Amino acid sequence: MRRFYLNRAEDISGISGLGRVCEGVEWDNGKVSLCWFGTYHVLESADNIHTIEHIHGHSGKTVVEWLDPEE
């Protein structure tokens, strides 16, 4: 299990804000769970971290900030 934040430098949607916008976990099987901060506190899951980067990365405006080292 590996923890991370999504850190957003530019909020193109105007919804989630800037800085650390959610916290997440990459499970041992590669699946990912996110818990968004802010008004709505939405929970989200995906098949892998690459899917999250593709959907929420906005061409590098949001990056994964790992808290735990890669095993």
Tokens 């916008």, located at residue: 21
Question: Which of 10, 60, 51, 18 is CA-nearest to residue 37?
Answer: 18
User: Distance between CA atoms of 19 and 52, rounded to whole angstroms?
Assistant: 17
Strands (E), 1-71: 2-8, 19-26, 32-36, 43-46, 62-66
Interval 4-63: pLDDT, tens = 999 998 777 777 787 899 999 999 999 999 999 988 889 999 999 999 999 998 888 899
* Domain residue extents for the chain: 2-66
Q: Say what the pTM is.
A: 0.87
Rounded-to-integer distance, Cα 47 and Cα 11, Å: 24
Round to whole Å and give the CA distance between 57 and 71: 23
